[in-house]
Structures are given as C-alpha cells and as structure tokens.
Amino acid sequence: MKDLKLVMDILKDRKVPHAICGGAARDKAHGIEPRDVDICIWRGGVKDVEHNLILAIRDMRLAGLEVENLTDGDYFEEDRGQTGRVKLVLKVEGCIDLILWERDYLQSILQSFDSNINQYYLGEDGQAIYAGVDEGIFYLSPTVVAPCKRYKRLLEVIESCGWSVSEKTRVYMERVSSGQIASGQKFSTKGLFSLVP
C-alpha cells in the first residue's frame, strides 16, 4: 500500500480528523498483513470537515491517485440500513477506504463496530491500540446487525487472531452465514450475546 502515507499526509495537511481503524489495525496488532485499510474520518471539532475532505480528495487526485465514490455501494447501504452512521465512503487506489462517519469522536466510531475484535486503531506513532473490552475474547454487538457474509469473515478473523468465542455466538454466526437463520434473529432466548465465552 505504497500510497497510504501520501493519503494520510494529505488528510493531516487538510486538518481532517482521521485514523486507521478496524481490520488493518487489528491485523497489525496480530502480525498479519492487512488486505486493505479503512481510514475513519470524524468531525472532531472541525467546523467544516466535509469541505476539508473535498479539498483533500482534490489534492489526492492532483497527486495522481484514483478516488472512487462508493456511497451508493454495498458497504454504504448495509451500514445506512442499520443506523445511518456512515455519511460517505470513498475508495482510494483500490485498497484504501475513506469512511466519513456522522460522529464527533474516534471512540464513538469504534464503539459502533459490529464486534469488539475490530475495535483497534493506529495511534500517531503507528502502534495498534485496542479500544474494546476483554481483548482476546470475541463479542458481537447486540445493537448492530451485520450482513450474513460478514459473519463468515468474522469467523475466519477470530481463528486467525486466536481469539476465543462462546459456543452460542459461534453457532449463531455459522447459522447466519449459511442462511439457516436471518441476521439479527435469535435462535435461543438466553445468552446469545453473553459476555461469558
């Protein structure tokens, strides 16, 4: 991801509050090569973050980077259908996602993720920081319903990172990813989102 530093520098120069969050930060923490990078953007007290982001996009394009708007794509629609918390999704050079959240702070973005295994971000020094609870023990968020294909990917991530997961949560995710039950549907009334693995 040779263009990542350039993208990060442009966002910083344009005073766009941002951080690498989720899977790439998690993978770095576990010594795994990330497939792509999500850069989350929030308001962070900036008066007109959208205007600053537009200027940053222009700067990226002037630097020869390809920037594609995915706001009408699956990523946006899946999230928009749940909570409306994502305002804009852009793809830069095919492997960097810029995600503008309707949030004021990084912590509120991380707390809205569908599971705690993705509640990582990279600090300014490039080190992975875990912002969730009980690192190493997987929890699904009881308030976020993910698309079926997402659960299959999460099961792969849990295994590759060596995290533990409760049997009820694992069975639920397997049933959703195989289409046996709908995402968000409880197949047991007790302990589905239990904090006990």
Residue 98 and residue 92 in contact, taking contact as beta carbons nearer than 8 Å: yes
pLDDT at 10 over 80: yes
Residue-level pLDDT at 140:
87
Distance (Å, whole) CA 186 – CA 130: 29
Range of the domain at 33: 4-130
- Number of independent structural domains in the chain: 2
Residue bearing the bigger pLDDT, 189 or 19: 19
Secondary structure element (H or E) that encloses residue 38, with its range = strand 37-41
Tell me what pLDDT residue 83 has: 53
Per the model's pLDDT, the better-predicted residue between 142 and 154 turns out to be: 154
- What pTM, to 2 d.p., does this model score? 0.84
Residue 20 sits in the same domain as residue 113: yes
- pLDDT confidence bin for 164, thresholds 50/70/90: very high
Check residue 183 and give its pLDDT.
66
Q: Which domain CATH number covers 109? A: 3.30.460.10
**Same domain? 27 vs 101:** yes
Q: Give the domain-ending residue among 82, 99, 130.
A: 130
Same domain, 98 and 10: yes
Are 148 and 99 in a shared domain? no
- Determine contact, residues 123/18, Cβ cutoff 8 Å: no
Co-location of 112 and 66 in the same domain:
yes
Q: For 53-87, what is each residue's pLDDT tens digit?
A: 999 999 999 999 999 998 765 554 444 444 558 88
